[in-house]
């Protein structure tokens, strides 16, 4: 099958789509392709995810059960753990994790493992797109050589491209369909086939010159956030020294109608992207004998923020003539982001650890995270979210707002707390108890 045939199959929705890795990125993407009329197979190593998909149950906040069920019932979506299905797939999109090793070097082993499964079943006319965030050069230096080993030629026998995922979990305005999608191919023909596929399911496709550019674009986007968050975190530390409230400074600066974009400080970075992705770029640059100074400085400042929160808690307790050791502290919000349940890399976990190491007795409340599976309550069992009642809140020496989930009665929390450390400005506009609140 040549480029023309695969393009015709895509236009006619006769191309079969496979998505490898059905997580935060893969599941919404698979559903979007299915909604566009393609037959989609979602492949994952995790049997529970596959079972949930086939039972029409969503495990991702941005996708509803109804959406999955609708596509399953229409025969357009199915989950599987069997990579043999790839033999029947025309277009495969890889959305596997790209974490860091303990040494903070990229761990692309998930990509390599998914690639191996594809390479063993590569066939003429197949389109392969990598979506996992990674360093510039991965598609060309890691994917291409393995696929070429089969004897097939990129741009002629198969098509290879990179298209970064831009999903913003919990964002109601911007989702898979209406967020513009950058696509860069290994060859121009590869880019064209990949762009054609995405244009069937996504409103705007942004073709770029090559896969390496597409990889770099994602890292620019995330480095931009990491560096700006670090800048504003440093401004928060500076304001603290100057006895100024950083939130007032930012809000007023943001009234400038041009040349200023507000970023907000917080307890540290969280999630699967911003704390991790810039390290992919700085690692690659180290191999090219270049030190990415902004990235490293931003990481240093951002990773200091949980320690700054700890020092705020120490101050808050000190005002009550109490030590951290033995004090009861309530952490409010353990997800890394407002109104989501994702605790990956959450700074709340760092704050929790730092407090415990100093002997505090810590509980947490998070309406989105009923149990913290990776964090033990001390006896080996997972920590569980405590209910947020006035009587409960009165039992703590300090409440720390780490994630500003909506739907929480912050006035009630302040009314019943001895002292509140607010790292997100969640208590802005409260009528009573401002003297009990210590802001970041």
Ligand X SMILES: NC(=O)c1ccc[n+]([C@@H]2O[C@H](COP(=O)([O-])OP(=O)(O)OC[C@H]3O[C@@H](n4cnc5c(N)ncnc54)[C@H](O)[C@@H]3O)[C@@H](O)[C@H]2O)c1
Confirm whether 91 is a catalytic residue: no
Residue 272 contacts ligand X per CB under 6 A: yes
Residue 23 contacts ligand X per CB under 6 A: yes
Residue selected from 10, 25, 68, 78 as contacting ligand X according to rule CB under 6 A? 25
DSSP 8-state symbol, 234? H
Residue 21 contacts ligand X per CB under 6 A: yes
Smaller CB distance to ligand X: residue 138 or 417?
138
Residue 26 contacts ligand X per CB under 6 A: yes
Distance of alpha carbon 26 from the chain centroid? 12
Q: Identify the active-site residue in 95, 190, 239, 273.
A: 273
Contacts 24+ apart (CB under 8 A), 45-54: 45/81, 46/22, 46/81, 47/81, 49/22, 49/23, 49/79, 50/22, 50/79, 50/80, 50/81, 51/79, 52/79, 53/22, 53/27, 53/77, 53/78, 53/79, 54/78, 54/79
Residue 30 contacts ligand X per CB under 6 A: no
Smaller CB distance to ligand X: residue 44 or 397?
44
Residue 79 contacts ligand X per CB under 6 A: no
Residue selected from 10, 17, 22, 34 as contacting ligand X according to rule CB under 6 A? 22
Query: Does residue 129 sit in helix, strand or coil?
Result: strand
The token pair that represents 127 in the structure block: 């389109």
Smaller CB distance to ligand X: residue 96 or 310?
96
The token pair that represents 104 in the structure block: 């903070």
Residue selected from 19, 31, 77, 114 as contacting ligand X according to rule CB under 6 A? 114
Residue whose beta carbon is closest to ligand X: 23
Determine the Cα–Cα distance for residues 430 and 154; give it in Å rounded to an integer.
Answer: 61
Residue 20 contacts ligand X per CB under 6 A: yes
| Site size with ligand X, rule: CB under 6 A | 27
Residue selected from 165, 215, 350, 397 as contacting ligand X according to rule CB under 6 A? 165
Q: Taking CA 420 as the corner, what is the angle to CA 416 and CA 421, rounded to the nearest 5 degrees?
A: 165
Smaller CB distance to ligand X: residue 98 or 417?
98
Smaller CB distance to ligand X: residue 24 or 159?
24
CB of 315 to ligand X, least distance (A): 34
In 319-389, alpha helices (H): 347-357
284-to-104, 133, 165, 293, 347 alpha-carbon distances in Å: 12, 13, 20, 13, 26
Smaller CB distance to ligand X: residue 21 or 125?
21
Contacts of 109 (CB under 8 A, 6+ apart): none
Residue 340 contacts ligand X per CB under 6 A: no
Could you list the active site residues? 273
Binding residues for ligand X, per CB under 6 A? 20-26, 43-46, 49, 95-98, 110, 113-114, 131-133, 165, 167, 169, 272-273
């Amino acid at each position: 099958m040549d480029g023309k045939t695969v393009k015709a199959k895509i236009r006619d929705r006769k191309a079969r789509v496979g998505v490898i890795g059905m997580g935060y990125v893969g599941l919404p993407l698979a559903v979007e392709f299915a909604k566009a009329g393609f037959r989609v197979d979602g492949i994952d190593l995790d049997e529970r995810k596959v079972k949930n998909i086939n039972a029409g149950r969503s495990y991702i906040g941005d996708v509803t059960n109804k959406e999955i069920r609708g596509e399953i019932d229409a025969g357009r979506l199915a989950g599987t753990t069997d990579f043999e299905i790839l033999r029947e797939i025309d277009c495969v999109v890889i959305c596997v994790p790209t974490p860091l090793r303990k040494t903070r070097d990229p761990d692309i082993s998930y990509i390599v493992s998914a690639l191996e499964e594809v390479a063993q079943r590569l066939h003429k006319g197949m389109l392969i797109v990598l979506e996992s965030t990674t360093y510039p050069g991965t598609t060309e230096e890691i994917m291409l050589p393995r696929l070429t080993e089969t004897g097939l030629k990129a741009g002629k026998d198969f098509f290879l491209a990179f298209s970064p995922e831009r999903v913003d979990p919990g964002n109601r305005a911007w989702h898979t369909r209406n967020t513009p999608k950058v696509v860069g191919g290994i060859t121009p023909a590869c880019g064209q086939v990949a762009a054609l596929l995405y244009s069937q399911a996504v409103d705007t496709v942004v073709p770029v010159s090559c896969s390496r550019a597409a990889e770099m674009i994602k890292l620019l986007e995330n480095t931009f956030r990491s560096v700006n968050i670090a800048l504003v975190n440093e401004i928060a530390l500076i304001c603290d020294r100057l006895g100024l409230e950083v939130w007032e400074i930012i809000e007023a600066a943001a009234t400038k109608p041009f040349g200023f974009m507000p970023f907000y400080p917080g307890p540290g970075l969280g999630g699967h992207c911003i704390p991790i992705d810039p390290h992919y770029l700085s690692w690659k640059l180290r191999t090219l004998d270049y030190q990415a100074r902004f990235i490293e400085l931003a990481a240093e400042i951002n990773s200091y923020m949980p320690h700054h929160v700890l020092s705020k808690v120490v101050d808050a307790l000190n005002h009550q003539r109490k030590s951290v050791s033995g004090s009861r502290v309530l952490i409010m919000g353990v997800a890394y982001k407002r109104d989501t349940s994702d605790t990956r890399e959450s700074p709340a976990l760092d704050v929790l650890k730092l407090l415990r190491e100093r002997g505090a007795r810590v509980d947490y409340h998070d309406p989105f995270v009923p149990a913290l599976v990776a964090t033990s309550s001390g006896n080996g069992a997972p920590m569980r979210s405590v209910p947020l009642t006035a009587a409960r809140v009165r039992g703590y020496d300090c409440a720390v707002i780490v994630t500003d989930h909506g739907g929480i009665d912050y006035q009630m929390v302040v009314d019943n707390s001895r002292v509140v450390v607010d790292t997100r400005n969640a208590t802005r506009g409260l009528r009573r108890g401002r003297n009990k609140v210590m802001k970041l």
